[in-house]
Amino acid sequence: MDKSQTRSFPGCFASLDAINQFFTDAAITAKLGPRAVHAVQLAVEEACSNIIEHAYGGEGHQPIDCAFHITDHGLTITFHDRGRSFDPCLVPEPDRTSRLEERNVGGLGLYFIRQLMDEVHFRFESDSGNTLTLVRYRERPS
């Protein structure tokens, strides 16, 4: 099964529900299991929030181009934005051992995305923007 679709959404928090529904429908069509669909939903929301907040520095500056590709193995999700880039290698591992009261606020988004998805790839091109690719494979039956 090969199926792809692309849509562009306004880069604002009000778009999160529509973006999430776009990818939830794709995950269901890709026949991902319930846990994988939920993982996709969480990763998509975190990725889009990061694009709006960090790449665009707030709402409404540029669109978020969203695409999916369904294969026999699972689902590939792609986000493209025209915001500020960053080096994911410079994002420190979050503190997961200290008490919650002692931890810094934030910094868990990239960690969660990497835990929820099977593959996470970043590409930054100064002339065309940033591309985030997330891959989730079908869960294997127990």
Domain locations in the chain as residue ranges: 3-137
* Tokens standing for residue 140: 């294997």
- As a residue count, the chain comes to 142
> Is 9's pLDDT higher than 60?
yes
pTM: 0.87
β-pairing, 129-137 with 3-10? Answer: unpaired
* Tokens standing for residue 116: 């929820």
| pLDDT value for 95 | 61
Percent of the chain with pLDDT over 70: 85
| Average of per-residue pLDDT values in the chain | 88
Residue 47: Cβ within 10 Å count: 26
Architecture of domain 3-137: 2-Layer Sandwich (3.30)
b/e per residue, 97-109, with b = 16+ CB within 10 A? eeeeeeeeeeeeb
